[in-house]
């Protein structure tokens, strides 16, 4: 029997296209919300045409002839912002590190673990500037207010990153430490900490980068630093000085980000052997 004599196979019917009514409904609701948001917000759309020319004009006012006489003051205030970020980072590390270890699965009771994770989520939902406004009623408009606000907000992020890193480590050293009769503290010290140290160091450096940028924003409410100086000269429309301040902020922030990024890569990847 040849292939020509073989009966033709019945053409199978095409499968029905899957339907997802919930996805369609959610997409429709999101679309309606976005349209209503643009429709109800009082925006003068006619001024958008003037935005490019106005932007060019203000950039010219700030950077055509910067007031370099204010450079020493700008550097001093930037240094205070970096100090604020550093203190906030250190305080956040000291508080978040033990809490993140307890919040990890297998090292604390379930009720405490979920309580800490909820606390971390709540802290992350609140911006640093809100914490600063609450704290300044006690400490006043000082750099300490900004440092404490950064520390509290850092607890939320460092705590979450920490317990996720602990739960991601291989279980072999942990089981070996427990089999040897080690207590919970000893298991964390010898089974967990050597494995998570590179990740934790990377998290700490990255949080310091975030705090350096956030410290400039916190200065806008008067807690000191380069943000405070930037607000003052912007209100008085001294654009030549504002240009110098922006140059200092951008250069210092990029330098810190580059140095911190290089350190984080060195910690996580180690030294690279040149061919």
CATH code: domain of residue 151:
1.10.3720.10
Average pLDDT, integer, range 172-182: 82
pLDDT tens string 141-164: 788 888 999 999 999 999 999 999
pLDDT tens string 46-65: 777 777 888 888 888 888 88
In a domain, 65, yes or no: no
The three-state DSSP-derived secondary structure of 14-28 is CCCCCCCHHHHHHHH
H-assigned helices in the chain:
21-40, 51-63, 71-103, 110-124, 128-139, 143-167, 172-179, 184-187, 193-218, 226-235, 239-269
Residue 2 has pLDDT above 80, yes or no: no
Taking the model in full, what pTM does it have? 0.78
In a domain, 172, yes or no: yes
Work out how many domains the chain is built from and give that number.
Answer: 1
In a domain, 117, yes or no: yes
Domain range spanning residue 231? 70-269
Residue 264 has pLDDT above 90, yes or no: no
H-assigned helices in 104-127:
110-124
In a domain, 62, yes or no: no
In a domain, 59, yes or no: no
In a domain, 240, yes or no: yes
């Amino acid at each position: 029997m040849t292939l020509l004599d073989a009966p033709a196979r019945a053409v199978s019917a095409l499968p029905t296209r899957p339907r997802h009514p919930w996805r369609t409904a959610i997409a429709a609701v999101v679309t309606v919300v976005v349209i209503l948001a643009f429709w109800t917000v009082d925006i003068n759309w006619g001024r958008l045409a003037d935005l490019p020319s106005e932007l060019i004009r203000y950039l010219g006012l700030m950077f055509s002839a910067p007031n370099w006489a204010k450079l020493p003051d700008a550097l001093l205030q930037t240094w205070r912002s970096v100090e604020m970020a550093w203190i906030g980072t250190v305080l956040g590390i000291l508080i978040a590190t033990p809490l993140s270890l307890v919040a990890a699965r297998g090292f604390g009771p379930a009720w405490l673990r979920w309580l800490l994770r909820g606390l971390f989520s709540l802290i992350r939902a609140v911006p640093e500037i809100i914490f600063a406004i609450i704290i300044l009623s006690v400490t006043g408009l000082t750099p300490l207010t900004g440092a404490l606000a950064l520390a509290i907000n850092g607890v939320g992020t460092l705590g979450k990153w920490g317990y996720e890193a602990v739960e991601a480590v291989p279980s072999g050293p942990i089981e070996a430490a427990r089999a040897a009769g080690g207590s919970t503290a000893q298991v964390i010290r010898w089974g967990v900490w050597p494995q998570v140290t590179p990740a934790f160091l990377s998290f700490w450096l990255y949080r310091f980068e975030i705090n350096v940028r956030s410290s400039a924003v916190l200065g806008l409410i008067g807690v000191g630093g380069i943000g405070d100086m930037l607000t003052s000269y912007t209100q008085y429309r001294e654009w030549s000085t504002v240009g110098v301040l922006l140059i200092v902020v951008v250069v210092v922030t990029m330098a810190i980000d580059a140095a911190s990024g290089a350190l984080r890569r060195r910690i996580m990847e180690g030294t690279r052997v040149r061919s």
